[in-house]
Amino acid sequence: MFHMRELISANRKEIASLLSAEHGKVLSDALGEVARGLENVEFACGVANLMKGGYSEQASTGVDVYSIKQPLGVVAGITPFNFPAMVPMWMFANALACGNTFILKPSEKDPSASMFLAELLKQAGLPDGCFNVVNGDKEAVDRILDHPDIAAVSFVGSTPIAKYIYETGTRNGKRVQALGGAKNHMLVLPDADLDMAADAAVSAAYGSAGERCMAISVVLAIDSVADALVDKIRARIPAIKVGPASEPDNEMGPLITGEHRDKVAGYVGGAEAEGATLVVDGRTDAPGGGFFLKPSLIDNAKPGMRCYDEEIFGPVLTVTRISDYDEGLRLINDNQYGNGTAIFTRDGGVARQFEFDVQVGMVGVNVPVPVPVSYYSFGGWKASLFGDQHMYGPDGINFFTRTKVVTSRWPDPRTSSVDLGFPQNR
């Protein structure tokens, strides 16, 4: 793992360039992805400490009890298109460090980073066969889910597929963690710093062209500040430079496919017919020669509208106007997803109450994209995660190991002619 850490760090620009060329995300975004993935390799370097079990001396007379963590054997990871380097690192770093062998099935849309990481693992000295990349789509996934020798499956992707992976894998006796989609709400209270909130909403909604499971896709604005907040967001949008990652000034690249671009554009086109207000239409003046959309802003979105209810997974931010904190909290808790959320306020008491009340796995206080650092674990609630263990961090170590408890008694050398006692100083 230490060698792997050095190699990823030395090759970070090359990995980022691969991501930009294949996925389309701009270089600064790709470098950020590599850095966040690398954190997980660094965490796994501490595995000797993380695999320690418990020990109870003299649990009964002459009896000691202790627990040990052991690897599961062959485990697999199935990953989405949007973080082709980071999400594999979320999984394989801990899985390998715990002593498992790993099969990675990357997204068929951008598998090159996985192939490159496999090369680096080989250079780092990992024996052949310990890390394997299997390319393909549903057929390869189904073979993994059916294969009797695979003990566990870690999945990240959309909610319908996550549910399918969880149900099929567990039916086949495997341990499964399956992370799904999201619809992350940002609640802005009247006492918030509105410029900070507008900067955060724009960065979190349109970064990575909105193709992030932790993107903010809904701003919940209390009526008294909603007009001002919408104005501030609208004012920031024209400055965002959209275009190919090959031009270093660009801040937002294309969407992953033409089909996905058209689907996202469909939500923008349908918003007004649903009763929402299209404030900025990102379909106009989008650069040609790729699957580009510019940022869109939709105001007055409400539950029951497709643009509010469904995961869009593109550069579209909707605003829902609410009368108070309780209405905002209710909307977040009623949503089918529970991946991430954020509150913007200067009131510590309200923020603390929000942390307590909200039915979401990852919460930001004046932080719009609260992806946990690698020594915590990443995971949503509700339809954003199927399974018990969250991804990476301490939960990742638990997911890729199983615990054995040993109860042990040794013959007392004073009562036995055979001395099986521990070596001791006499």
Residue ranges in contact with ligand NAD by CB under 6 A:
78-83, 105, 107-108, 137-138, 141, 156-158, 161, 164, 179-182, 213, 311, 313, 339, 380, 384
Residue 206 C-beta: closest distance to ligand NAD, Å: 16
Q: Is 226 exposed, middle or buried (0-12, 13-18, 19+ CB in 10 A)?
A: buried
User: Per DSSP, what are the bridge partners of residue 102?
Assistant: 75, 131
Is 307 noted as a catalytic residue in this protein? no
How many residues in the chain?
Answer: 426
**Tell me, what amino acid is at 298?**
I
Alpha-carbon distance 315 to 296, whole Å?
A: 6
**Tell me, what amino acid is at 18?**
L
Q: Which is nearer to ligand NAD, 34 or 229 (CB)?
A: 34
Residue 141 C-beta: closest distance to ligand NAD, Å: 4
Q: Which is nearer to ligand NAD, 325 or 386 (CB)?
A: 386
Q: Is 366 exposed, middle or buried (0-12, 13-18, 19+ CB in 10 A)?
A: middle
Q: Which is nearer to ligand NAD, 343 or 360 (CB)?
A: 360
Q: Dihedrals φ, ψ of 416, to 5°?
A: -135, 145
If phi > 0 it is left, if psi is from -120 to 50 it is alpha, else beta; for residue 225 that is: alpha
**Contacts (Cβ under 8 Å, ≥6 apart) of 412:** 62, 421
Q: Which is nearer to ligand NAD, 142 or 355 (CB)?
A: 142
2-10 vs 27-44: helix axis angle to the nearest 10?
170
Return the number of other C-beta atoms located less than 10 Å from residue 247's C-beta.
11
Structure tokens at 59: 């649990």
Closest chain position to ligand NAD (CB): 157
Q: For residue 66, give the DSSP letter.
A: E
Residue 172 C-beta: closest distance to ligand NAD, Å: 14
| Neighbour-count burial for 122-157, b at 16+ CB within 10 Å, e otherwise | eebebeeebbebbeeeeebbeebbeeeebbbbbbbb
Alpha-carbon distance 235 to 229, whole Å?
A: 10
From 45, 98, 130, 213, active-site residue: 213
Q: Which is nearer to ligand NAD, 217 or 320 (CB)?
A: 217
Helices (H), 82-214: 86-97, 112-123, 138-146, 159-171, 194-206
Structure tokens at 415: 């009562």
Q: Which is nearer to ligand NAD, 80 or 315 (CB)?
A: 80
Q: Which is nearer to ligand NAD, 214 or 278 (CB)?
A: 214
Strands (E), 134-288: 150-156, 175-179, 184-188, 216-222, 277-280
96 touches 1 (CB < 8 A) = yes
Q: Which is nearer to ligand NAD, 108 or 227 (CB)?
A: 108
Q: Which of 144, 140, 86 is nearest to 117 (CA)?
A: 86
Active-site positions read 213
